[in-house]
Amino acid sequence: MNAEDLLWQPDLQQGKHSQNGAHNVRDRIKADALHTLRRLISTHAPWLRVRYAL
């Protein structure tokens, strides 16, 4: 098994388009965490915005 086989796990990833139009993948776990973070920010500090999420 090579590294790409370990990293490429479609059941744990989702597609997304970047702001420049490129197609990327990200982990679904990250997507859930980002959704939770944005919900908390909108509730407690709506003047803030998320620019980067690593």
Rounded Cα–Cα distance for residues 31 and 29 (Å): 5
One-letter amino acid for residue 43 of the chain: T
Q: Which pLDDT does position 35 carry in this prediction?
A: 87
Q: Which pLDDT does position 52 carry in this prediction?
A: 74
pLDDT in tens, 1-54: 677 776 666 676 666 666 777 766 666 677 788 888 899 999 999 999 888 766
